[in-house]
Amino acid sequence: MKTQEFVTDVMLNDMENEAKNHTDANNVLPAVFSSVDEAVKLLKLDKRHKWEEFCGELVYPHKYSYACSGCTETKEMQSTPERGGGCHECGYKGRVRNIVPVPAFMPDGSIAKVVPQNGL
């Protein structure tokens, strides 16, 4: 009686594993996504970022600011202040803003590719 239960359990486990492997085979990610929305959906990326295509790669623009180098007077071996005095380079605000594209990565570690918007 116990061997029959054991055999039944093993068969059920095998069926569950086959079903899981079958669904995993159907969820193969494409090498190049056809749109940004498709890539965000399939890669389950954070939707709080504004994902966009940049040079054929899926990226989000990371924005940051730093003290202006044109109006921040520091001597050697001193830490820079949070804000400069203001000059033409920073618009008389004392800080400079910058944006850097941060790529999205595939599960295998490669950068996610997207078909360019302009068709090139």
Choose between 7 and 56: higher pLDDT.
Answer: 56
Tens digit of each residue's pLDDT (9 = 90 or more) over 35-63: 888 888 988 888 888 999 988 899 999 99
Q: Are 115 and 33 in contact (CB under 8 A)?
A: yes
pTM: 0.59
CA atoms within 13 A on the CB side of 78: 8
Tens digit of each residue's pLDDT (9 = 90 or more) over 26-35: 567 777 888 8
CA–CA dist 60, 11 (Å, integer):
47
